[in-house]
Amino acid sequence: MLAMATYHHGDLRPALVRAAQKLLEKAGPEALSLREVARRAGVSHNAPYRHFSGREALLAALAAEGFRRLGEALAATTGRAMGEAYVRFALEHPQLFRLMFGGRLRFARHRPLAEAAAQPYEALLGAFRAQPAIGDPEKAAAAAWALVHGLAHLLLDGHFARQAADPAAFAGDVIGAVRFASRPA
Amino acid sequence: MLAMATYHHGDLRPALVRAAQKLLEKAGPEALSLREVARRAGVSHNAPYRHFSGREALLAALAAEGFRRLGEALAATTGRAMGEAYVRFALEHPQLFRLMFGGRLRFARHRPLAEAAAQPYEALLGAFRAQPAIGDPEKAAAAAWALVHGLAHLLLDGHFARQAADPAAFAGDVIGAVRFASRPA
DNA sequence: ACCTGAACACCGTTCAAGT
DNA sequence: ACCTGAACACCGTTCAAGT
């Protein structure tokens, strides 16, 4: 009996996270219900409360994981490829991206989330600091983040459907058309 | 009795819209419940279905009105002030902005919404076309939209809280630091 | 036409109880 | 510790019924 000493699950928490990740990409953040996650993990609707303080805490865990993965994807690239990697991440995980940037999560209430959420900007800032030609790397990094973030959002929402037959290529074009030439005046 | 010939409301639809607008800015799109809107308009939870096919249709009406107002705000400005007006709109109506760009509305299902949603890009495109120095106005307009849209979103979500003591001023700085110099190579 | 109350199948969250 | 079923106060939506 030692082999199944775990009570029904033993590792319920990761099982809940996996079920939630699948449900998230299928139904979106708004439709992700704790009860459905529990159902998919094979436990009662109320077992998740042993591992998460509530629905928002589970969503925060998913979002934090997303920020970590986005940070890694960016850190693996430089220059223009960084921007393209950012947009690609959004296009590949649309609902996760919406969860991360949907404005619904209270970052201040979930410290690991707040820490993970700072990674994309840090990665961009590091890249701009490595370019001595840039006068104000903080402003340039902010502008670059805003550009790729807006691109990702507008592409996901279909606002460039007419202009962008191939969203990733369109993103590359737009990114290439912009100069962050903020040398000190 | 002629004066109150209207059945309880007579103009229930605008009353619902007004109640919904107030509730939207207070609670956000996710928390906007049809039942609460009905309650605030003083009718049964189910009267709204006489005027809207469902919850999404009411949200679509609010969003369409928002796109129209945003389009007007942009059309009243030019150049850099356009971008600042865009960000200001988002900062002044955060929940409406989140509704408009939250990715939850199916634009294809609400034609007036789809038409209204095209206005911001049209306004930007017109402005860039009026500048002969710009080689590819479509790409430049897309880049400008992406920049200000990303700025608005990231500011609303608090991602620039450390950098931007004054969000509007920060937005102006970032916008000023970018060049959309996509002349034909 | 416009509005109502009852009903159905869902939620998130809490609580007392079981092993 | 971990999980359960019952309960509470909500939802969106549908339907038969009232004026």
A38-61 pLDDT per residue, tens:
999 999 999 999 999 999 999 999
Residue B77: phi and psi, rounded to 5, are: -135, 175
State the Cα–Cα distance between residues B56 and B106, nearest whole angstrom.
9
Q: Which residues of A touch B30 (CB under 8 A)?
A: 30, 104
The least confident of A180-184, B99-103, B114-118, B157-161 is A180-184
CB B119 within 8 A of CB B70: yes
For the cut 60, the answer to whether the pLDDT of residue A5 exceeds it is: no
The closest alpha carbon to A157, from A106, A102, A107, A118, belongs to A102
Instruction: Report residue B66's pLDDT band, with 50, 70 and 90 as the boundaries.
Output: very high
CB B105 within 8 A of CB B116: no
Q: A134-137: long-range contacts (C-beta < 8 A, 24 or more apart)?
A: A134/A180, A134/A182, A134/A183, A135/A182, A135/A183, A135/A184, A136/A182, A136/A184, A136/B177
- Answer whether B2 touches A (CB < 8 Å): no
In degrees, rounded to 5, the angle at the alpha carbon of residue A173 between the alpha carbons of residues B148 and B69 is 30
Contact A140 B177 (CB under 8 A): yes
Which residues, other chains included, contact A26 with Cβ-Cβ below 8 Å and sequence gap of 6+? Answer: A95
Instruction: Report residue B163's pLDDT band, with 50, 70 and 90 as the boundaries.
Output: confident
Query: pLDDT tens-digit profile of B84-104?
Result: 999 999 999 999 999 999 999
State how far residue B86 is from chain A, nearest Cα, in angstroms.
13
Contact B146 A150 (CB under 8 A): yes
Residue A179: phi and psi, rounded to 5, are: -115, 130
State the Cα–Cα distance between residues A12 and A43, nearest whole angstrom.
9
Q: Which residues pair with A179 in a beta bridge?
A: B179
Report the pLDDT value the prediction gives residue A1, as an integer from 0 to 100. 30
Mean pLDDT of chain A, nearest integer: 91
Mean pLDDT of chain B, nearest integer: 91
For the cut 90, the answer to whether the pLDDT of residue A182 exceeds it is: no
State the Cα–Cα distance between residues A23 and B64, nearest whole angstrom.
29
In the predicted model, what is the mean pLDDT of residues B27-54?
Answer: 95
Strand C proximity list, CB < 7 Å:
A 32-36, 45-46, 49, 54-56; B 7-10, 12, 43-47, 50-51
Burial class, B50, CB count within 10 angstroms (exposed 0-12 / middle 13-18 / buried 19+): exposed
Give A94 CA → D18 C1' in Å.
Answer: 48
Of A residues 2-31, those with CB within 7 angstroms of nucleic strand D are 7-10, 12
Report the pLDDT value the prediction gives residue B8, as an integer from 0 to 100. 57
Report the pLDDT value the prediction gives residue A107, as an integer from 0 to 100. 95
- Answer whether B40 touches A (CB < 8 Å): no
In the predicted model, what is the mean pLDDT of residues A135-163?
Answer: 95
Q: Which residues of A touch B94 (CB under 8 A)?
A: 103
Interface test with B, best of A67, A178, A180 (most B CBs within 10 A): A178
In the predicted model, what is the mean pLDDT of residues A9-17?
Answer: 87
For the ranges A94-98, A127-131, A133-137, B160-164, the maximum mean pLDDT occurs at A94-98
Query: pLDDT tens-digit profile of B114-125?
Result: 999 999 999 999
Residue A118: phi and psi, rounded to 5, are: -80, -10
The closest alpha carbon to A120, from A155, A93, A96, A85, belongs to A85
- CA nearest A31 in B: which residue? B30
The closest alpha carbon to B132, from B185, B80, B183, belongs to B183
- CA nearest A162 in B: which residue? B118
Q: How far is CA B126 from CA A130, B159, B182, in A?
A: 37, 31, 16
For the cut 70, the answer to whether the pLDDT of residue A89 exceeds it is: yes
Report the pLDDT value the prediction gives residue A2, as an integer from 0 to 100. 31
Report the pLDDT value the prediction gives residue B83, as an integer from 0 to 100. 97
Q: Which residue is nearest to nucleotide D3 (CA to C1')?
A: A47
State the Cα–Cα distance between residues A88 and A6, nearest whole angstrom.
40
Instruction: Report residue B132's pLDDT band, with 50, 70 and 90 as the boundaries.
Output: confident
For the cut 80, the answer to whether the pLDDT of residue A6 exceeds it is: no
Q: Which residues pair with B179 in a beta bridge?
A: A179
Q: Which residues of A touch B163 (CB under 8 A)?
A: 138, 142
Instruction: Report residue A131's pLDDT band, with 50, 70 and 90 as the boundaries.
Output: confident
For the cut 60, the answer to whether the pLDDT of residue A12 exceeds it is: yes
Which nucleotides of chain D have an atom under 7 angstroms from any protein CB? 1-7, 10-15
The closest alpha carbon to A173, from A153, A157, A151, A154, belongs to A151
Report the pLDDT value the prediction gives residue B164, as an integer from 0 to 100. 85
- Taking phi over 0 as left and psi of -120 to 50 as alpha, with beta for the rest, A103 belongs to left
Interface test with A, best of B122, B147, B182 (most A CBs within 10 A): B147
Give A41 CA → D4 C1' in Å.
Answer: 15
Q: Which residues of B touch A98 (CB under 8 A)?
A: 102-103
For the cut 80, the answer to whether the pLDDT of residue B184 exceeds it is: no
Size of interface A-B (CB pairs under 8 A): 121
State the Cα–Cα distance between residues B137 and B139, nearest whole angstrom.
5
Query: pLDDT tens-digit profile of B138-151?
Result: 999 999 999 999 99
Report the pLDDT value the prediction gives residue B144, as an integer from 0 to 100. 96
In the predicted model, what is the mean pLDDT of residues A104-126?
Answer: 95
Contact A136 B104 (CB under 8 A): no
